[in-house]
C-alpha cells in the first residue's frame, strides 16, 4: 500500500537524529544509557512464552496503545505532533508513548516528567526496536506490565483471568491505563469500563478497515495552521488592550 510505504519512509527520516545520537552513545560507551540498554535487553530475552499472552491480547494492545506500531521505529512522531497540537490549541495533555517506550519505562522504572527522560526513553526505544521483532516487544511488555494492586506481568494476567474467566482482552489492556488499586475504587472501575468500550470500538473499526492513519504532512499542516491562528488571536488581543 503506497500510503504505508510513505509513512514508513517518513518515520525512517524522522528517526535519523535519534539514530545518530545512538551511534554517538555507542562510540563513547556512555554508561548511564548503556546500562539501561543492557538491563532492557536482559529482561526482553528472559521473557518466557505463556498461554496467558495470546495473539488476541497482543493485537488488542497494539490497537489500544500504539496502532501505528508496525510503521514506526520505536518512536511515533505523528503521535508527538498530535500531543503538541492538543497542548497548544486546547491545553490538553495526551500521551504519545509507543509500546517500546512503555516497555522501557516499566523496566527502568524511570517516571520523572522531564524532557531529558523522554529523550532517553525514545533513544532506548529506537535501540531495542532494532534488536527484536514487534511481537517479541509486545510480549515482553505484557510480561512485565502493571495491571493493579499486586497484579503484575504474566502472573497478574493469570490471576485476573482466574477472578473473571470471561474477561475480554480489551478490559485487561484497559488496566494498563487505569490499574486497579487495593480499594477497588468505583470511579476507577467506570474508567476501565469506558476505556474497554472505546477499545472495542477501535477493534470494530479495524475489522472494517476504517482505522485512521494520518500522514505526517497533513498533521503538521493542521498544527501550523492552528499555531498561526492562535498567534493572530493573541496579536488582536494585544491591539485591543492598547
Phi-psi region of 184 (alpha: psi -120 to 50; beta: other; left: phi over 0): left
Confidence of residue 10 (pLDDT cuts 50, 70, 90): confident
Nearest-angstrom CA–CA distance, 230 and 97: 26
Rounded Cα distance, 92 and 73, in Å = 26
pLDDT band at 224 (very low <50, low <70, confident <90, very high): very low
Give me the percent of the chain exceeding a pLDDT of 90: 57
Alpha helices in the chain (DSSP H): 2-28, 31-45, 55-65, 77-90, 99-108, 115-131, 134-144, 153-163, 169-177, 186-207, 216-241
Residue-wise pLDDT for 73-100, tens only, equals: 999 988 888 888 888 888 887 788 999 9
Q: Burial of 17 by CB count in 10 Å (0-12 exposed, 13-18 middle, 19+ buried)? A: exposed
Distance CA 135, CA 15 (A): 21
When mean pLDDT is compared across 137-141, 179-183, 211-215, the lowest value belongs to: 211-215
**Percentage of residues of the chain with pLDDT beyond 70:** 86
The grid coordinates of residue 188 equal: 476507577
Task: Read off the pLDDT of residues 96-138 as tens digits, 9 standing for 90 and up.
Answer: 899 999 999 999 999 998 989 999 999 999 999 999 999 999 9
How many residues in the chain?
A: 242
Query: For the chain, how long is the longest CA-to-CA vector?
Result: 68
User: Within a 10 A sphere around the Cβ of 146, how many other Cβ atoms?
Assistant: 13
Alpha-carbon gap, residue 91 to 117, rounded angstroms: 22
C-alpha to C-alpha distance for 213 and 209, rounded to whole angstroms: 11
- Of 98-102, 202-206, 223-227, 235-239, the range with the highest mean pLDDT is 98-102
What's the whole-model pTM score? 0.83
108/48 Cα distance (integer angstroms): 19
Rounded to an integer, what distance in angstroms lies between the CA atom of residue 177 and that of residue 100? 16
C-alpha 45/C-alpha 219 separation (Å) is: 37
The strand pairing partners of 151, in sequence order, are: 148
State the DSSP code for 151.
E
Amino acid at each position: 500500500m503506497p500510503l504505508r510505504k510513505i509513512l514508513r519512509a517518513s518515520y525512517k527520516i524522522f528517526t535519523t537524529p535519534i539514530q545518530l545520537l545512538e551511534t554517538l552513545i555507542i562510540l563513547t560507551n556512555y554508561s548511564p544509557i548503556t546500562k539501561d540498554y543492557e538491563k532492557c535487553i536482559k529482561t526482553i530475552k528472559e521473557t518466557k512464552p505463556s498461554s496467558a499472552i495470546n495473539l488476541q491480547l497482543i493485537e488488542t494492545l497494539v490497537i489500544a496503545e500504539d496502532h501505528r506500531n508496525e510503521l514506526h521505529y520505536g518512536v511515533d512522531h505523528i503521535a508527538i505532533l498530535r500531543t503538541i497540537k492538543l497542548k497548544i490549541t486546547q491545553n490538553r495533555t495526551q500521551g504519545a508513548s509507543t509500546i517500546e517506550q512503555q516497555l522501557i519505562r516499566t523496566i527502568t522504572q524511570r517516571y520523572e516528567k522531564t524532557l531529558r527522560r523522554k529523550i532517553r526513553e525514545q533513544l532506548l526505544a529506537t535501540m531495542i526496536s532494532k534488536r527484536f521483532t514487534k511481537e517479541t516487544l509486545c510480549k515482553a511488555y505484557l510480561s512485565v506490565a502493571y495491571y493493579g494492586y499486586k497484579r503484575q506481568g504474566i502472573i497478574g494476567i493469570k490471576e485476573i483471568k482466574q477472578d473473571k474467566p470471561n474477561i475480554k482482552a480489551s478490559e485487561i489492556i484497559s488496566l494498563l491505563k487505569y490499574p486497579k488499586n487495593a480499594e477497588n475504587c468505583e470511579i476507577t472501575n467506570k474508567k476501565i469500563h469506558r476505556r474497554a468500550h472505546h477499545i472495542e470500538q477501535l477493534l470494530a473499526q479495524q475489522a472494517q478497515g476504517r482505522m485512521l492513519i494520518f500522514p505526517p504532512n497533513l498533521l503538521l499542516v493542521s498544527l501550523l495552521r492552528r499555531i498561526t491562528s492562535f498567534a493572530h488571536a493573541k496579536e488582536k488581543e494585544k491591539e485591543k488592550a492598547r
